[in-house]
Structure 1
Amino acid sequence: MTISPELEKEFEDLALAYSEAVAKECTTHAELVFATNDMMDCIQGYINYHLSLTAQEMNAESKFMTTNPPQDVFAHVCDYLTLAERITVSHVSHYWRELAISDARLWNHVVQGHTDSTGARHLLERSRNTPVHLELTVYDTNAKDHASYIVEHLHHVKTLILRFPESRGGDVTQSAWSAISYAIARPAPVLETLYINVMRSAYHMDGNETPGNTLRPDFLAGFAPQLRHVSIGGVLLPKSAGDEPLEPFAHVAELSYAHRNGVALTGADLSTLTENFPRIERLALSSQTFTDDGTDVRKLPGLRVVDAVVGQGMEAALRRLNFEATHLTSIRNNVHDPSMMVPVLAEHSRATSISASMSDLAVAGVDEFGAPHERRFFSLGLDPIKRTLEAADMFRSLQSLLLHEFLWPHTGLLPAAPQLRELSVVLALASEHRNWLQGGHHHPMMGMGGMGDEPQGMITLFQLPAELAIPWNCSSLRTFRLIFGGWQGGRNQMEQPNERERESGPRVVSAGDVLRFVETYLAAALPLGRIELKGVQIYESPHEIRELQALMNNATEFSVEDAGNDPNPQTTGMWETYYGRGRLPDRNRRRAAA
């Protein structure tokens, strides 16, 4: 390798400086060692620097696409990289940096989650005037900096996500909100999606309204013609002038609104909401409590879907929206208060579908106005779920029933369901068998004389009294399913099963057990149109062949399939819509352009 004259000159200067430093300062052997180490570090630094310069020159002249790619190829590859990876790529070589910075579309997804704001500023400068996704976490320490470049770049922001974390004292966001609220009082001609969330700490729920978290009347300067999707949490809306809404909200189609924790939503708040969003078609509404103050609420003629997380009194809040005047396709209430279960279901006697797990219950049907409606209840005990499954009114119009095997009643019979078309039973995990309370519940013999972990071939609570007066009244039943899947142990992120409880293989059942259940409890519906085993297999044994053949003779179709997706998902979907849409990679843009 040939040493350049510049590097040779630097080595000579370093050697001279080293000899002078040793003569003046090194009086001991240890000091000489330290000085030598310092000199070697300097030499290594010089070598690395010149090697990088040489590599840049070689890459610039290289004909290999990996080191000297055309700009369109480089941009296409970057479409599949995250923002952090794109930043790393821009530091590989001088040529790559030029390619990266020259394409403004590579920097149209800006996310700043920590207190430093310089990174977001540089990325916004690189994006120039291309439509950009801007996602900021606003603290008191960076609020003014964020506000300054929001003012500068709001005219080309397509998606704006603002989060205001709150401290235990509840006072972190006040100055931050003041700065940002002035910044977003500017026109936003290309803004399509807006997400604002003032996070309220669990330590600050005293019921007192803290000032400053209200949108200004000049919000977005009254100009956001493309705005269609809005999600607001912990922010109050200004009172509209007369019957006119805030101009940026006049054409919004989807709204997600979460009221402040610890503060009751009132009829006046609901009225303000409907006045400012007169054309919404999909509404997600969340509030812990509701106070009906008698305020008249304007009708929402375009409303089609309501997805509400309800608390105490929230059913009354939904009625304030005058549902009878709309053409709803779906109403979903997510109820976290078990005490509300009885009065809510009492209004909902025309249930068409029930899905029951060990802690959650979903009921879908038609309300008194003929509109489809769905209510979901979370974190329930077994008693209220079982009481629901014993209510005759819930089964009169029922067409589909899905329940956990432990919820099958000990009497063997559910209320009469003359219109039932589908019955699905979710089999328990082995861990659920091990943890299930012993008192009054039948447990199957474990494999190997009771010494194994896996309950083999037993549909546990279907082992009921052999003699019943009459079979279950379900004469219209056409499909019977047995379902088992490893997803059962964790229906949400807070309940993920550990490795010992995770089960990915199929559940093995006895054909004789299934046959006895079908011929005893479903006799009124025989022959069935279809029997499905999803994630379930028949125990392979010679004496099971006859029972399996008899079971197949009781149905026109007999199917064995993989478990598939969770048949009873406990997520509504709307609350993730806005954030998820904003974070979609922009690779679709280039595909569409191609």
Structure 2
Amino acid sequence: MSEPQSKMPEEQEEEFVVPEDLAKAFEELSEQFAQEVAKDCKTHAELAFATADMMDCVAGYVNYAMSLAAREMNRESTDLSTNPPPDIFAHVCDYLTLEERITVTHVCHYWRDLAVADARLWNHIVQNFHDSTGARELLERSRNTPVHLELTVFDSNAKAVAVYITEHLHHVKTLVLRLSDGRSGHPSQDAWTTISYALAYPAPVLQTLYINMLRSPYRSMNTEAFCALRPDFLAGDAPELRSVSLGGIAPPTTNDLIAPFGHVTTLTYAHHNSSPFNGGNLVQLVNNFPRLENIALSAQQFVDDGTQPIKLRNLRVVDSTVNQGAEACLRRIGYEDVDLVAVRLNFHDNANTVPIVLEHTRAEKLSATLSEVAVLARDENNNPHERRFFSLGIEAIKSLLDGPDVFRYLQTLLIHEFMWPQSGTFPPAPGLRELTVLLPTVAEHRSWAMGNNHHHPMMGGMGMGMNVNDEPQGMVTLFQLPTELPAPWNCASLREFRLVYGTWAKAEAPAPAEPNAPTTRTISAADLFDFVQTHLATALPLGRIELQGVELYEAVHDIPALRGLQANCAEFVVSPSGPDPTPQQTGLWDTYYTRARTQDRRRRP
């Protein structure tokens, strides 16, 4: 009897083999994905989108397999598609959304037992409705694993939410609380009081905290008057907390600092009060965050009350959405030594004034489009700085392009064709090496001509390239500028000139893009040759002229203009439309928004 018993373990240790049809399906998917990446992906962003698509495709395979298994379920079956091993089942569920995992638990008892037994599958919980029983059940399934908990708090469920926050706060990794409007049309003071007491317990694994008072953008409210953090917030015990976002929540008015904020590196603060945000409020806020590296401020108005500038020695990123008084707010923070400053403005609130200037810096790269102006510069100690402006008005962009200080050390310039000055020349740019000119879409052209819909249609001082009523369909006439210039543009170091058009431009347009827009633009070689000879004369011969997404109307003929272009450069290239040439991301920009952006809701983190 002992001999068969000794063989039992050997008989149970069967090697798991993936079914051939499943292995073949995923091999084909992998090969197809590799081909698409090699063909279409030119940047990291495109690779990320392609990877997400592939993961969605995998989820589709899984959903299909599970639907078949649900129809053919047989508890005695040995088919791996209906009775998968626990480790394989958990791996498959890892690619499903929370709603899909809940559906899986209703297929059969076997699947439910496997799913509920794995606490990792229930660590991303979202509840946006009044009934909070589902969130509580999912929290119990997660046991003590770190969870992402996202809740909307109403008057009706505030007490229930407070109870299970108190019970499970010790293993919450990310906490998102949105307090909805009460019966009065404003967030309830009673609901906030209930939640604030629930947040008076330790949170040893909490890394990200988001608390926001939901409100209508057309209605101001003074939630800061009654929604303030308690001095015993998180019982002073949240050693892993690094990112905090507060909307309509004020720090305590006492001099006692909130201990859990001592290690926070990223702060997002939105001032909802109808009264202006002032220097005293700013000092009171940042005193609780001595180790800040990234700060994002949002307020309708900032009033300078004469407080001294705040020096945060670790500060690297400032993101400002202060519509009025933005420059004063940035100066209180001491933006001059900050690596990255992003300024977002409202068209109706002084959008035609650049809120900060490039003081004590040398601008090396300038990208000016209707949606964003980006400047890369270096300070007196040769440290790199980045400045980004969103939703600037036409006059603000014009004044920036007219400034000689910006062009003095400029090496790279990217602009729209219609931004070329009507006088024919920019300020001297003796160090300019690369010039990129973007051809306009209909939406961009109209927005510039109409001054972003609130300027006089005939703007003085800037060449529009075409009449207001002209639409750049078919062949485009370039640079309708004076043929005789006072003096050629001083750009003797220019080596590369690119003329670019692409379908990516439609997505960035501030107005609806034109229907059935062509993927290329057709121009006259004679127009381009005249522009190069007249306005870039000091830089001839160029090292490279490139037309990207642009076709020459006379390219099929042997014409003098085409021969002239080829004679005035070492390399003449006509290429199809490629990726967006504007500097959408830098390392610092990408790092900040990777941290600040809300995590992907499609799959668990």
Q: TM-score range by the shorter chain?
A: 0.7 to 0.9
After superposition, the C-alpha distances for 1:81-105 in whole angstroms (9 at most, x for unaligned) are 1111111111122211111111111
SS in 2 for 1:154: helix
Name the amino acid aligned to 2:132.
S
Which residue of structure 2 aligns with residue 517 of structure 1? 531
| Preserved contact between residue 56 and residue 94 of structure 1 (Cα < 8 Å) | no
Instruction: Quote how far apart the aligned CAs of 1:186 are.
Output: 0.9
The superposition leaves residues 184-207 of structure 1 with CA deviations (integer Å, 9 ceiling, x where unpaired) of: 11111111111111133234326x
Answer yes or no: is the 8 Å Cα contact 2:223–2:248 preserved in 1: no
Matches within 5 A, 1:471-486: 471-486=488-503
Match of 1:465 in 2: 482
Correspondence for 1:320 among 324, 332, 356: 332
Give 1:176's aligned amino acid.
A
**Local SS of the residue matching 1:418:** coil
**Identity of aligned pairs, percent?**
52
* Alignment partners' CA distance in 1, 2:276 and 2:262: 26
Alignment pair present for 1:82 and 2:97: yes
Q: Identify the range of structure 1 (371-380 vs 155-164) with the bigger mean alpha-carbon deviation.
A: 371-380
SS of structure 2 residue aligned to 1:318: helix
The equivalent of 1:455 in structure 2 is 473
Residue 339 of structure 2 corresponds to which residue in structure 1?
329
- Which residue does the alignment assign to 1:48? none
CA distance in 2, matches of 1:181, 1:120: 19
Name the SS of the counterpart of 2:476 in structure 1.
coil
Q: Residue 338 of structure 1 is aligned with which of 350, 362, 367?
A: 350
Cα distance in 2 between the residues matched to 1:545 and 1:98:
77
Distance in 1 (CA, whole Å) between partners of 2:515 and 2:152 is 37
Deviation per CA, 1:515-573: give whole Å up to 9, x if none.
22222211111222333333333346432565444424433344425331362659977
Answer yes or no: is the 8 Å Cα contact 1:139–1:164 preserved in 2: yes
Separation of aligned partners in 2, 1:501 and 1:523: 38
Number of the residue aligned with 1:491? 508
Deviation at 1:257, TM superposition (A): 1.8
Q: In the alignment, which residue of structure 1 is the partner of 2:298?
A: 286
Cα pair 1:232 1:256 within 8 Å, conserved: yes
Change in CA separation of 1:317 and 1:431 when aligned onto 2, cut-off 3 Å: closer
Deviation, 1:344, is 3.1
* Letter of the structure 2 residue corresponding to residue 280 of structure 1: L
Q: Deviations over 1:218-260 (max 9, x none)?
A: 1111101111111222210114646xx4211111112222222
CA contact (8 A) 1:483 1:536 kept: yes
The Cα of 1:214 is off from its aligned counterpart by: 0.8
Q: Residues 129-174 of structure 1: CA distance to partner in whole angstroms, max 9, x if unpaired?
A: 1111101111112111111111111111111111123369443332
Larger radius of gyration: 1
2:197 matches 1:182: yes
Q: Which amino acid aligns with 2:271?
A: H
Q: How does 1:111-150 map to 2 (within 5 A)?
A: 111-150=126-165
Matched, 1:415 2:433: no
- What does residue 154 of structure 1 align with? 169
**Inter-partner Cα distance in structure 1 for 2:244 and 2:107:** 39
Distance 1:61 1:316 in 2: 73
Please give the secondary structure, in 1, of the residue aligned with 2:505.
Answer: helix
Equivalent runs, 1:259-278 vs 2, <5 Å = 259-278=271-290
1:576 CA displacement? 7.2
Q: Given the alignment of the two structures, is residue 501 of structure 1 paired with residue 515 of structure 2, yes or no?
A: yes
Does the residue aligned with 1:144 lie in a helix, a strand or coil?
helix
Instruction: Give the letter for the 2:270 counterpart.
Output: A
CA distance in 1, matches of 2:568, 2:537: 10
Question: What is residue 248 of structure 1 aligned with on the other side?
Answer: 260
Provide the C-alpha distance between the structure 2 equivalents of 1:197 and 1:513, rounded to a whole number of angstroms.
55
1:308-387 pair list within 5 angstroms: 308-323=320-335, 328-336=338-346, 337-338=349-350, 341=353, 344-345=356-357, 350-358=362-370, 360-366=372-378, 372-387=384-399
Equivalent pairs counted in the alignment come to 520
1:237 maps to what in 2? 251
Q: Choose the corresponding residue for 2:211, options 196, 212, 217.
A: 196
Per mean C-alpha deviation after superposition, the further-off stretch among 393-402 and 186-195 is: 393-402
Residue 241 of structure 2 corresponds to: 227
Partner of 2:11: none
- Does the Cα contact within 8 Å between 1:258 and 1:286 map onto a contact in 2? yes
Change in Cα spacing, 1:503 to 1:167, as seen in structure 2 (3 Å) is farther
Please tell me the residue identity of whatever aligns with 1:355. Answer: S
Q: Secondary structure at the match of 2:367?
A: strand
* Partner secondary structure for residue 246 of structure 2: strand
Q: Secondary structure at the match of 1:308?
A: strand
Matched residue SS, 1:316:
helix
Q: Structure 1 residues 290 and 442, CA, compared in 2 at 3 Å: closer, same or farther?
A: closer
Tell me, yes or no, if the aligned pair for 1:256 and 1:575 is still in contact at 8 Å: no
* Deviations 1:99-137 (CA, angstroms, capped at 9, x unpaired): 111111101100111222111111111111111110111
For 1:311 and 1:369, the matched residues in 2 are separated by: 32
CA 1:565–1:79: 2 relative to 1, 3 Å? farther
Q: Which of 510-519 and 54-63 deviates more?
A: 54-63
Aligned position for 1:532: 546
- The correspondence for 1:429, drawn from 427, 430, 441, is 441
| Partner SS, residue 250 of structure 2 | coil
> Which one of the candidate residues 93, 116, 121 is aligned to 2:108?
93
What TM-score, normalized to structure 2?
0.77
Residue 43 of structure 1 aligns with which residue? none
Decide whether the 8 Å contact of 1:174 with 1:211 is kept in 2: no
Contact 2:302 2:329 in 1 (8 A): yes
SS in structure 2 at match of 1:286: strand
Q: 258-267 vs 141-150, which deviates more?
A: 258-267
Q: Indicate conservation of the 8 Å contact 2:370/2:391, yes or no.
A: no
2:244, 2:264 within 8 Å by CA — same for their partners in 1? yes
TM-score (norm 1): 0.78
In 1, the alpha carbon distance for the partners of 2:181 and 2:566 equals: 61
Distance 1:553 1:156, change over 3 A: farther
2: CA distance between counterparts of 1:530 and 1:264?
A: 53
User: Does structure 1 conserve the Cα–Cα contact (< 8 Å) formed by 2:320 and 2:344?
Assistant: yes
Q: Say which SS state the counterpart of residue 531 (structure 1) adopts.
A: strand
**Is the 2:177–2:210 Cα contact (8 Å) retained in structure 1?**
yes
Give secondary structure in 1 for the equivalent of 2:377. strand
Change (3 A) 1:234 1:368: farther
**Farther-moved stretch of structure 1 (406-415 vs 360-369):** 360-369
Amino acid at match of 2:492: S
Q: Which moved more, 1:105-114 or 1:337-346?
A: 337-346
Match of 1:551 in 2: 565
State yes or no: 1:388 paired with 2:400: yes
Deviation (angstroms), 1:298: 5.2
Aligned twin of 1:165: 180
Tell me the residue number matched to 2:225.
211
For 1:318, the aligned partner's letter is: L
8 Å Cα contact 2:374-2:387 kept in structure 1: yes
Distance 1:478 1:168 in 2: 65
Residue 75 of structure 1, CA deviation = 0.9
Q: Give the match's secondary structure for 1:88.
A: helix
Could you tell which deviates more after superposition, 330-339 or 171-180? 330-339
- Per-residue deviation, 1:379: 4.0
Question: 2:598 matched to 1:580?
Answer: yes
